[in-house]
Amino acid sequence: METKLYNKEGMETGNIDMSEKVFGLPQNLDLIHQIRVSMLANQRKPVAHSKTRAEVSGTGKKPWRQKGTGRARHGSKRSPIWVGGGVAHGPRNDKNYSKKINAQMLKRALNTLLSSKFKSGQIKVVEDFSLSDAKTKSFKELSNKIAGGDARSMLFVLPFRNENILKASRNLEVSVNSVLGLSFLDVLKAKKIVFTKSAVEALNK
């Protein structure tokens, strides 16, 4: 399978082969959803924290005797039903929300997602995407030419980590990944993905 190849000016220059194993897989929404939920759970950092009856300050003395007062029996002022008492079943910051992600499942989900983006025309391949400096203005001009308009919400995939591009793109609403560091969530969020020719060749291998 092939797709069009473009230069830095956004002009078509030829075609490039795309691997069927990466860009030609059938849709699998259940797998994509499962990986998305797991990755978001792994990023979750619980902050809310309530104290149990064992942790709140206060005496452990029985408020009044068991019988003969006409009132309900109580054993502690730290009980959850008392004002100032502990909280029953409240949020805890030591709770572990992480989920295990199988490496093969993650790889399959990423390839399935790339295939879906490719079929919907959201993937574009350029010959090269390099900058001589780390200026945001230079990156913005180049990315807008390649995108053919506003480059916001785009993901740029490079063969290797490029410090100039990373620095130049920090203040813009875009994402930059290398092939080895390709993020599933970044691919999922991106409205359009731009691969360099060498990045596609690395993925094909």
> Average pLDDT of 157-177?
87
190 and 121 share one domain: yes
Q: How confident is the model at residue 130 (pLDDT cuts 50, 70, 90)?
A: confident
pTM: 0.80
Nearest-angstrom CA–CA distance, 198 and 23: 16
- Total count of domains within the chain: 2
71 and 170 share one domain: no
133 and 198 share one domain: yes
Q: Which domain holds residue 67?
A: 48-96
Q: Over pLDDT 70: what percentage of the chain?
A: 100
* C-beta neighbour count of 113 within 10 angstroms: 23
For the chain, helix (H) and strand (E) counts, in that order, are: 7, 6
Which residue carries 């030829």 as its tokens? 14
59 and 147 share one domain: no
72 and 23 share one domain: no
70 and 123 share one domain: no
> Average pLDDT of 108-119?
94
110 and 166 share one domain: yes
CATH of the domain at 10: 3.40.1370.10
77 and 118 share one domain: no
* C-beta neighbour count of 182 within 10 angstroms: 18
107 and 144 share one domain: yes
104 and 117 share one domain: yes
Burial class (CB in 10 A: 0-12, 13-18, 19+), 23: buried
pLDDT, one tens digit per residue, over 83-112 is: 999 999 999 999 999 999 999 999 999 999
34 and 118 share one domain: yes
